[in-house]
Every structure is written in C-alpha cells, then in structure tokens.
Amino acid sequence: MENGCLLNFLRQRSRTLPESWLLSMCQDVCEGMDYLEGHSFIHRDLAARNCLVSEHNVVKVSDFGMTRYVLDNQYTSSIGAKFPVKWSPPEVLHYSKYSSKSDIWSYGVVMWEIFSEGRTPFENRSNVDVVTDITRGIRLYRPQRASQPLYAIMYRCWHEVLNILYFNILTVPCFCTFYKEMHDIFLLFFFSSTITSPFLLRWWCRSLMVGHLSLNCWRKSENWQKIKTSTHILLYRWTPNCLFIVVMNVNIFYSVFVNKYFYKALL
C-alpha cells in the first residue's frame, strides 16, 4: 500500500501524529480483526509490522502467512514452530494453543505499539525473560500518549486472555466488544471538542473532498465509513434522504446533514 507498513509509518512520524490518528489506527486494526474473527480465521501473527497504511491513512491488517481457518476456534501448532514471543499470550508460550483470543492479546500489543509510536515491546528483554515475565503476570507499561481508559482496554486484552487457562473461554471478550468500546472512546474524544459553525464545515468538506477524494470513494452505505487525510479524519454515512458527514481534526469537530439534492451544490 501507498504508505507502507504501520511500524515504519509510526517511527517516521514520531511525535507528529495527533492522538486522534493513533486512536483511529487502533480502531482500524480492531475492525479488520473483527472481520477475521467473524469468519473463523486466526491470524496468529498480528503486529504493527504486519499492518499496512493506505493512501488515505487507513490501516489494513495484512501478512496472512500464519493465518489458519478453524472450525472450533482453536488451533495447536507443531512443536518447535516459530512464533512472535513478545506478541503471544501464555497459552501460546506454554502450550502452542491458538484461538481468536490469542489474537486479542496480540491486538493489545499492537495498540501499545501504536501509542508508543513504533517502540518494540519489552525492548530490553530477551524472549526467555519475556516468557518468565508474562507467566509472573508482568505486563507492558502505559505509553505516555495513551489515556487511562485506553490503557484499560489494552490491559484487558492481556489480563482476560491470561485467565483463559482457568475460566470458560466465553468469558474472554471478542473483537466486536473491543470495537464498540474503541468506537465509543473515539466519539467521546471528538464530541468533547469545540463545535464550529456549519458555514466552516461546508468550506472544509469542499476542500477535503475535492482536494483529496473522488466521488467514487463515497460508497452509499448505511454503515459509518472513514477516510483520513493528512490533517483530518472524515466519517460519513448515507441514509435514504441525506448524507451525514463528520469532519474532525485534533481540536475541532464539525458535523452536518447534507440533503441529497444539496449534495452536488456542496461540492
């Protein structure tokens, strides 16, 4: 994809990406993993290095070399098979047992990578030390740019998957649960910002859509769609009679209903 792998994207733009982008990236990855989980696939190698960033800065999950299709949500790898230790939960480290819940553990580490802007998890620890630390209950620290509610989601990814050895597998949250929580945090982040006049919204929509997008990008879906430009995140959703647009940056929130007959005039 145009902007390469997520890990390099984060490292090259360290300290320049707003929190809204980092949060949106986490949401993108969660959405992709929710799709895989819903179709009975286990990725087994989810990490920032295995995600790609599109032209509009939307993150896509990639590298499916270790992915497996499972019927009972479990897969046991052969003894001696290689796996990413620092992204793996206890049941993988000790028993080589994978499930969609082990992908959730890895997703928590990806969130940590995103909010630490490309740092390596447990960077000063060997793989043997990491196995010992994880078994003892030690977890990654909260990144400086991650809020406490966001870190709580990260930590739950790790804590709940650890308990899979002792509790029923159904007690572990699925990706759809985390996606809803990420979506709520995402909306709260912007709704707490300043609401500006619709006049400015019209100007922003026109400059964004004409400057960065084509009409083919606007799919008529009743679900929320997302496009990111160099400075803004744009959400849109079609309803039978109007297009609902939300344009966001770090400090400002814009929203408007656009009647379908007014749509061409807006552009």
Cα–Cα distance for residue pair 186/131, rounded to 1 Å: 33
Q: Dihedral sign for Cα 83, 89, 92, 98, please.
A: negative
Out of 28, 45, 63, 129, the active site residue is: 45
Tokens linked to 237: 């959703």
Residue 144 makes CB contacts below 8 A (sequence gap 6+) with 116
Q: What angle do CA 129, 119, 132 make, to 5 degrees?
A: 10
Using an 8 Å Cβ cutoff, are 21 and 227 in contact? Answer: no
- Clarify whether 133 is annotated catalytic: no
* Burial (0-12, 13-18, 19+ Cβ within 10 Å), 164: buried
Using an 8 Å Cβ cutoff, are 117 and 126 in contact? Answer: no
Q: Kindly report the number of other CB atoms within 10 A of residue 73's CB atom.
A: 13
Tokens linked to 196: 């500006």
Using an 8 Å Cβ cutoff, are 205 and 264 in contact? Answer: no
Task: Look at residues 95, 120, 103 and name the one whose alpha carbon lies nearest to residue 66.
Answer: 103
Helix H or strand E encompassing 36: helix 19-38
- Four-point Cα dihedral 57, 61, 63, 68, nearest 10: -170
Known catalytic residues are 45
